[in-house]
Amino acid sequence: MSTTAHKSTCSSCNLAELCLPIGLTAPEMQRLDELGIQKRSFLRSDYLYRSGDKFRSLFAINNGSFKTQVLHEDGREQVTGFQMTGEIIGLDAISTDVHACEAVAMESGMVCELPFNKLETLSRDIPSLQRHLHKIMSREIVRDQGIMLLLGSMRAEERLAAFLLNLSQRYATRGLSPTRFHLRMSRQEIGSYLGLKLETVSRAFSHFQEAGIIIVKVRAIEIINLADLKACINSSC
């Protein structure tokens, strides 16, 4: 973890709302305190964990955003996801007790640290928590399958359209505008995520703009026509 981040105990943090949105009873809510959840702040480009780090906790993003990436010996790196408020990261580490990827902050914010062995213990007592944990892990698997489909069988502009629509939908879920948002990541990072070079990403943005589908002002995106953007994914654009 970054050296600068400061900690504070957080017995009544907005965890239940943000991180674990499940119907817990009042006494069950209290038991969440057993987790000894700590809230931590982080700054842009802080590492939340690195590949190879011993696994102790999952992290629920309170606010701010991360990218996760896997590294290859030869230096290649692949962005595997962009995570935002309310999402849980670190699931890959459960498998081997060691983090398989690294999480880098794209902007400053806060996380709740969820000690995993305590979470496991508690989820044996609270079935709805257990169920929720399973769903979160399964959702990650489904998300990954979607990325495989994207990387394995879509062309550049289809990938970018799918990416923008995914962001749009996630912003909407958070009560933010689904049509106007600010990208937290660079063209290079988008390219890594989508299996493209940054120039290709930039050209695809420009093309969407020329087609009147979106307006791009560097990182500020406005989607003019959501339907057209969706149509792009079906090859026709």
Partner DNA sequence: AAAATGGTTTGATGTATGTCAAAATATATA
Partner DNA sequence: TATATATTTTGACATACATCAAACCATTTT
Instruction: Give the residues lining the site for DNA (CB under 7 A).
Output: 155-157, 183, 186-188, 195-203, 205-206, 216-219
User: Which of a copy of itself, DNA, none does residue 218 bind (CB under 5 to 8 Å by kind)?
Assistant: DNA
Measuring CA to CA, how many Å separate 130 from each of 14, 22, 71, 133?
19, 10, 31, 5
Residue 172 binds to a copy of itself (criterion: CB under 8 A): no
User: Which of DNA, a copy of itself, none does residue 3 bind (CB under 5 to 8 Å by kind)?
Assistant: none
Could you say which of 24, 91, 176, 216 contacts a copy of itself (CB under 8 A)? Answer: 91
Could you say which of 26, 141, 218, 227 contacts a copy of itself (CB under 8 A)? Answer: 141
Which residue in 98, 103, 136, 105 sits closest to 119, CA to CA? 136
Burial 92-119 (b: 16+ CB within 10 A, else e): bbeeeeebbbbbbbbbbbbbbbbbbeeb
**Which residues fall within 8 angstroms of residue 118, CB to CB, at 6 or more apart?**
34, 35, 36
**Between 42 and 116, CB nearer to a copy of itself:** 116
Residue 80 binds to a copy of itself (criterion: CB under 8 A): yes
Residue 50 binds to a copy of itself (criterion: CB under 8 A): no
User: Which of DNA, a copy of itself, none does residue 142 bind (CB under 5 to 8 Å by kind)?
Assistant: a copy of itself
Measuring CA to CA, how many Å separate 47 from each of 23, 84, 189, 192?
32, 15, 16, 18
The residue type at 71: L
User: Which of DNA, a copy of itself, none does residue 7 bind (CB under 5 to 8 Å by kind)?
Assistant: none
Residue 218 binds to a copy of itself (criterion: CB under 8 A): no
Residue 160 binds to a copy of itself (criterion: CB under 8 A): no
Specify which residues 40 forms β-bridges with. 7, 111
Specify which residues 79 forms β-bridges with. 69
**Between 7 and 135, CB nearer to a copy of itself:** 135
Structure tokens at 130: 């257990």
Binding site for a copy of itself (CB under 8 A): 70, 72-74, 76-80, 91-96, 100-101, 120, 123-125, 127, 130-131, 133-135, 137-142, 144-149, 151-153, 192-195, 234-235
